[in-house]
Structure 1
Amino acid sequence: MESSRIAVTGASGLIGSALVRSLAADGHEVVRLVRRAPRSPDEVRWDPERGHVDPAALAGCAAVVNLAGAGIGDHRWTAEYKKRLRDGRVNGTRALAEALAALDDGRPRVLLNGSAIGYYGDTGDRAVDEDAPAGEGFLPSLCVAWEGAAAPAREAGVRTVFARTGLVVAREGGAWGRLFPLFRAGLGGRLGDGRQYWSFIALHDEVAALRHLLDRDDLSGPFNLTAPRPLTNREITAAMGRVLRRPTPFAVPAPVLRAVLGELASDVLGSQRVLPARLSESGFAFAFPGIEDAVRAAS
């Protein structure tokens, strides 16, 4: 994509901030949609939970990247927090899609919308790709509604892409942002029996994949953003210990995780063996396909 104007929601998050840096470094003008009062000319206020965005803010943009949403693992899944998770993603996506559809002139060519491999639910040992159906439970239903909310943009002819992201390996945040300090302190270990599959992706590859999906006008629909070979939590624990040169003697029993995390524990203990079939078929090349390389890049 030639240097152009690109609107980004969730620009202060782990993935969003890294994407904004990458886009700006290549000369793109980034418009950040923020929930607070704007502090600079490149910021525009919106209200995702209430479903409000000014269509004029999107006019003239070549693309809109929607990565907004409260953190899945930031709090226990109370009824109130589940509503926040859902409203921010679903209402915000619908507002953006309707705003794009309402534009007659200067309509962005592509909506790159966040999603997650939580779409597939617990897959056990079974490997799944983008052809697999949605699973059952809160996260799958959230992802289905999240992606479905983009329908107005797709129906208006805007190329619509869903980035079903896995566990991002980065020291700045997300699941690995919590793991790195524990492992460096020699307190790392497997979660539950460690047999559950974790589908991970290096932050560098996550950003590169998003850029790839933005640039390719022939790509639309869902894409799994995960490394080519998912590993079990036990294998990842061992790899973390090797790279960081720390012992990994500890294990957190499943009942303890359930007591501490509540319903969220099902996401930690669940197994998701997700393959990036469509991403690989499109010619994307991973810079850090293995877990040890991904951990080294992050540490």
Structure 2
Amino acid sequence: MRVLIAGASGMIGTELTRQLEEAGHEVWRLVRRAPRSDDEFNWAPTARMLDFTLMERADAVVNLSGASLSRLPWTSGYKREILASRLEATHTLTDAMRMAAHAPGVFVSGSAVGFYGDRPGQKLTETSIRGTGFLTDVVEAWESAAHLAPEKTRVVTVRTGVVVGHGGAMTPLLPMAKLGLAGPIGTGGQHWPWVSLHDEAAAIVHLLSSSLEGPVNVVGPKPATADAVLRALASAVHRPYGLPLPEKVVTLALQDAGRELLLSSLKVIPEKLLADGFEFRDRTVQDAMNRLVAER
């Protein structure tokens, strides 16, 4: 397949590109600077500028573009950027698809488990209703924009949680664990949907040739609490665990970001992926953390 990627230089995009090329696919990258190679093409999503003829030559499009949720704090200005960056990129891609004489067969667009909100004690699958909160509103608008793709294009929105890889949420957590500062955040009993970087990219590769459409939860097959995630990280780096971070401190310091990223409980199940035959390489969060540290 010829796969056009927006956000190819990011953590997930880099691993996705590696896996696609290793499997023999051709990867085209959208860049916001002057292209440096034949597989790079310029675009300007803030100005809705993209050569729509690219869509006529691409078999699939993957959208991983958007301001990082891991950048803290979420000021009112940055919250606007989180939403705008996702909508601008997605609308630019779907506009170009609609202008093309022959649109790509599949559009895999980024999304997030934040759609479900804070739902302690509930098992959350793709059929679960939306929750409440800033991220819920962002995800709903983001996914709606993806579904503006042409009717003949199969649209998949990948709802992702904490990606265990070099970057993203692990950027602050890994150094803290190495210093022996990892411990319960809030009660530690809230569920954190996690997935290894390898499996995140592998799931996207799987979805390019699958028949699945609509929202797909891309999270590890064995749910884990925040306490289990952070214990696994401390264990992987052979450091003690136990220095608590009280809920009041998290809320005071990070406000919405703290409540929605760290304190919310989401027991998300990858029901569609499992039913579709996708096989996770890293089935437990300890597997993912051990591999993260070993690869570093």
2:247 paired residue among 254, 261, 268: 254
1:108 aligns with 2:101: no
1:180 aligns with 2:174: yes
Q: In the TM superposition, what are the counterparts of 1:181-260 in structure 2 within 5 Å?
A: 181-216=175-210, 218-260=211-253
Residue number in structure 2 paired with 1:25: 22
Task: Describe the superposition over 1:209-232 as per-residue Cα deviations: whole angstroms up to 9, x where unpaired.
Answer: 11110121x211110001122111
1:287 paired residue among 281, 290, 296: 281
Aligned residues: 292
> TM-score by structure 1 length?
0.94
Q: Which letter maps to 2:196?
A: A
SS across alignment from 1:252: coil
What is the rounded CA distance, in whole Å, between the counterparts of 1:120 and 1:52 in structure 2?
32
SS across alignment from 2:108: strand
2:39 paired residue among 14, 39, 42: 42
Task: Describe the superposition over 1:137-173 as per-residue Cα deviations: whole angstroms up to 9, x where unpaired.
Answer: 11011001001002221x4310111111111111x10
Runs of 5+ in structure 2 lacking a partner? Answer: none
SS across alignment from 2:169: helix
What is the rounded CA distance, in whole Å, between the counterparts of 1:135 and 1:263 in structure 2?
15
CA contact (8 A) 1:91 1:149 kept: no
SS across alignment from 1:31: strand
Taking a change above 3 Å as real, the CA distance of residues 227 and 205 of structure 1, as seen in their structure-2 partners, is: same
CA contact (8 A) 1:168 1:174 kept: yes
What is the rounded CA distance, in whole Å, between the counterparts of 2:48 and 2:257 in structure 1?
26
Residue number in structure 2 paired with 1:138: 134
- CA-based RMSD of the aligned residues comes to 1.4
1:56 aligns with 2:50: no
SS across alignment from 1:248: coil
1:121 aligns with 2:114: no
Runs of 5+ in structure 1 lacking a partner? Answer: none
Residue number in structure 1 paired with 2:163: 168
Q: Which letter maps to 1:110?
A: V
Task: Describe the superposition over 1:245-269 as per-residue Cα deviations: whole angstroms up to 9, x where unpaired.
Answer: 2101211112222232232111211
